[in-house]
Amino acid sequence: MRLGSILALLVILVALGVYFLFFRPEPPPEPLPAPRPPVWDVDMMELQHIVISLPQQDKSEEFVKHEDRQWYFDEPEGPRADPKRWGGGIPLILSGPGADRLIAEDATEERLAVFGFTQPRMEIVLTLENEDIIDIEVGDSTPDGIAYYVKLADSTDVYTVDYTWYDVLERLVLEPPYPPPEEE
């Protein structure tokens, strides 16, 4: 009896092993995170002219795309922006940052002031090849410092975007991407 019980248990154990090895169902795939909605959305190839202003610091820079599809400082005989600093990244991040979250829909003037839009930290004007213009305002940073409030100038919907987005654009104004002296 003992030997028969052991053999029966062994057969059951082998059968379960074979089942789990060959017939067990695959676990469902992990769901992909939802894409972050863009605050605005334009094709980066359509950008023609970029103005980035820091009104509180009274500084700004302008860039224009020439026929050779390269970006230059928008000044008489303006030099080409340093491709090592400019790369393709600047038009990409200006084509429409992903919103971390929508903070306020149809915010009142008082709420906009709380987010820093009475005196924005940054103003961006994007001109597209078809001459459409997109005006953007960047307010204060969030209390934890990991994001900035941003909105379209003609909208009262306020979003947050990652602080690195703001930092890259601020650096373009404070440390303009002029070409190295040997390239001028």
pLDDT in tens, 75-117: 888 899 988 888 778 898 898 888 888 999 999 999 999 999 9
Q: Which residues contact 6 (CB under 8 A, 6 or more apart)?
A: none
pLDDT at 183: 57
The total of other beta-carbon atoms located within 10 Å of residue 162's CB is 15
- pLDDT of amino acid 172: 92
**More confident of the two residues 160 and 184:** 160
What's the confidence (pLDDT) of residue 1? 60
Token digits of residue 155: 């909208």
As a whole number, mean pLDDT of residues 45-68 equals: 95
Q: Tell me if the pTM is above 0.85.
A: no
Please tell me the distance from the alpha carbon of residue 100 to that of residue 36, in angstroms, as a whole number: 7
Boundaries of every domain in the chain? 44-183
| pLDDT tens per residue across span 5-48 | 888 888 888 887 777 777 777 778 888 777 777 888 999 999 99
| 9: Cβ contacts below 8 Å, ≥ 6 apart | none
pLDDT of residue 99: 85
Residue-averaged pLDDT of the chain: 89
Tell me what the mean pLDDT of segment 131-144 comes to: 95
- Give me the pLDDT at residue 3, please: 79
Q: Please give the Cα distance from 136 to 125 (Å, whole number).
A: 6
Which residues lie closer than 8 Å to 36 by C-beta, 6 or more apart?
A: 98, 99, 100
Query: Strand (E) positions, the chain?
Result: 47-54, 59-65, 71-73, 101-104, 122-128, 133-141, 147-152, 158-162
Question: Looking at residue 76, what is its pLDDT?
Answer: 80
